[in-house]
Amino acid sequence: MKVSVVGAAGYTGGELLRLVHSHPELDLVQAVSRRHAGRPVAEVHPNLHHLGLTFHPPQELAPVDTAFLALPSGASAELEAGVAELAGTIVDLSPDFRAGASSASGDVYRTGLPELYADELPGAERISVPGCMATAAILALAPLSKAGLVAGDVVVDARTGSSGSGAEPGPSSHHAERGNAFRVYKPAGHRHEKEIAAHAKVRARMTVTAVPSVRGAQVVCHVTPPEPVERRDVLRVLQREYRDRPFVRVVARSRGVHRLPDPQFLSGTNFVDVGCAVDEDGGRIVVVAALDNLVKGAAGGGVQSLNVARGLPEDAGLEFPGLHPA
């Protein structure tokens, strides 16, 4: 299956190049970047020196079976029509066609979240992957919502590393401003709230903090159940929901240093870890989820969704288990 990556110079684009190149059923044809056209890919992604690729401009996009779009907000909607003439399938990782987006084309896109939509993805020609923190929150909350364990609003406290801001530098990503900061940059009204509501069927109040790490996203979700519950009951709900899903691991240990999901052990992987705790009186459930924002929260989620859409093994090209220590 011939594949191009459009927007290949960004962090997500680089991860797509890495994953597609190592995929047993995909053939990486082009890395497309307007700004870096004509330059070696290794100048931007030094870990990919072995690919020997050069960036092509968008006007040289070759006919392919699948095009991954890893573009900033608004850019995918502008290029979609032209890309669709050359690619049978489009997997979009921008916000342009997600739940709550204003684009008129959004209704033809299926959601790239196989844990919830595995039955809707086969044969899909347009796939939109949810945002990284939205993916973590949705997978943390959807099973509880489905089981009737959510009463009222949910508070989602999200933390994200600097790569979530993209490869283009700005004042807030300058190391001197970011290095040791825990900056609450979106205390209310984050756009992911609409995605969480659409897919997890809950009303989420989200706060996002930029933390001094490069990769990783973690959400801590505070849920009020309709009546007191026990931790073991919540664990059963999570385990039952994800027992057949290859990339969701229920992590809630009673001993050890790392008892709940931590993104540092997920760098480079397509896993999302989900765990929980419950107050002694059973009146509050705390669900924690963690993932690599560039892989499961973006590039890996896109490859996983394409695998399902084309009838390939869901974990094809996504077997990397992570590192420890990290």
Residues with Cβ within 8 Å of 227's Cβ and at least 6 positions away in sequence, in order, are 282
What is residue 260's three-state secondary structure?
Answer: coil
Radius of gyration of the chain (CA): 19
Q: Which positions are annotated as active-site residues?
A: 132
* Structure letter (DSSP) for residue 295: I
Q: Which residue has the tokens 């009838």?
A: 311
Residue type for position 55: F
| E strands, 96-223, in order | 110-111, 126-128, 154-160, 183-186, 204-210, 217-223
Give the integer Cα–Cα distance in Å for 229 and 222.
Answer: 14
Query: How many residues does the structure list for the chain?
Result: 326
Q: Which residue has the tokens 């999570």?
A: 238
Give the integer Cα–Cα distance in Å for 170 and 49.
Answer: 27
Closest CA to 94 of 71, 78, 111: 71
Sign of CA dihedral 106, 154, 72, 268: negative
CB 97 within 8 A of CB 128: yes
